Amino acid sequence: MVFLFPGLKEEKNAHVPQGVGVNKNYAPNYWNRLVREQVSDQDKDQKIMKEMAAWKDGKENRLVENIVDGNIQGEAVSRFSTLLGDYRIYRDLFEEYISYLLDKQTNLHTEMRPRGFNSLFRQAEGSDQYDEIPDGDNFQEIVAKLICKSLRRYPKLANYLLKTWWPEKDVPIPGWGSGGKWAQKVWQAMKEAYSNDPDTLLNALRSGAPPDLFNIMNRLCNQPGLLWQTSVDDWKWLATVLVKASEIDITSAAARIAILIEEVEKNGNTDTEKTWVTRLFENEDPELKEGGERLLDKGLQLLKNRSANETKRLKMLGFASSTQPTSYPD
């Protein structure tokens, strides 16, 4: 009875793997299963546990694939965590999961977050994730490596990792704040990935959404969360490659610049801060200067068009006095 209804004893864990009394948001409704005497193929715990055991033993399995496809919930893998072991095992699983997302998926930009991401991340994080472990089994190092890997192919995934590791407006985890070694490592990887390679930058940006570039920059700058208060010199290299990328596809590049302009204008308090994007594209090279001006003009035009379209839509809905456009999602 205590197993089925863990709340009967206060000291008992209320989240036993298959207890009837667990929170419905945490686990399946086992009571309904018991009453109906019916369980769908997808929901069978035995199937989930079999895949987990096979993965741990290095046998043929589809655990990661099933998690990404939604056939196995990430929560279920957390619920039966004792089958895998401690957070170190989950770190291996999380790395494999991220690699699978990068290698196999082509439409992840349609998801707010990849399926299973939060559950696997939190299990891999463990309780002592900030400790420096001599053998390199350090989650900060693992996350930094995964972010660096994601930057080249899918920056939206890099942004997911950064955002989960350090939620905006929260105090950064040690090593990820201003001048932190992990933030610096990722910033350097970003520079190495995109410098002098506009094709790589364009392909990466096209895989995600327009806000991805700003969000990554805003978390990796010397004053995290305050990009417009940092030195433009730190990002001149990116301005150069963006101008070169705009010569290939100005619309894709300008969509990212539009977000930069919008966010800086919205958050900058001084004239210097509000002209941050303009100063970013100033260049002594005549061709780069001209290309930067053209890119800025295109970004501003996209914002103007979007504002006009949104105003028209609001008027059709009866909000004639409202002219505030909606913002792009994070």
Residue that wins the pLDDT comparison between 246 and 153:
246
- The overall average pLDDT reported for the chain is 79
- Give 75-129 pLDDT, tens digit per residue: 778 777 778 888 888 899 999 999 999 887 655 655 567 888 888 888 888 765 4
Residue the block writes with tokens 């995109």: 194
- Give 24-60 pLDDT, tens digit per residue: 444 555 555 555 555 555 556 788 888 889 999 999 9
CA angle 313, 208, 74 (to 5 degrees): 105
pLDDT at 21 over 60: no
Q: Which amino acid appears at position 102 of this protein?
A: L
pLDDT at 299 over 60: yes
pLDDT at 264 over 80: yes
All structural domains of the chain with their residue ranges: 1-38, 166-330
pLDDT bucket at 12, cuts 50 / 70 / 90? very low
pLDDT at 277 over 80: yes
| Cβ contacts of 251 within 8 Å, gap of 6 or more | 298
- The secondary structure of the chain, three-state, reads CCCCCHHHCCCCCCCCCCCCCCCCCCCCCHHHHHHHCCCCCCCCHHHHHHHHHHHHCCCCCCHHHHHHHCCCCHHHHHHCHHHCCCHHHHHHHHHHHHHHHHHHCCCHHHCCCCCCHHHHHHHHHCCCCCCCCCCCCCHHHHHHHHHHHHHHHCHHHHHHHHHHHCCCCCCCCCCCCCCCHHHHHHHHHHHHHHCCCHHHHHHHHHCCCCHHHHHHHHHHCCCCCCHHHCCHHHHHHHHHHHHHHHCCCHHHHHHHHHHHHHHHHHHCCCHHHHCHHHHHCCCCCHHHHHHHHHHHHHHHHHHHHHHHHHHHHHHHCCCCCCCCCCCCCC
Query: Whole-prediction pTM value?
Result: 0.76
Provide the pLDDT for residue 153: 85
Exposure on the CB side of residue 27, measured as CA atoms within 13 A: 20
| Cβ contacts of 266 within 8 Å, gap of 6 or more | none
pLDDT at 233 over 50: yes
- Give 188-214 pLDDT, tens digit per residue: 999 999 998 999 999 988 888 899 999
pLDDT at 321 over 60: no
Closest CA to 47 of 28, 63, 64: 63
Q: How far is CA 221 from the centre of its chain?
A: 17
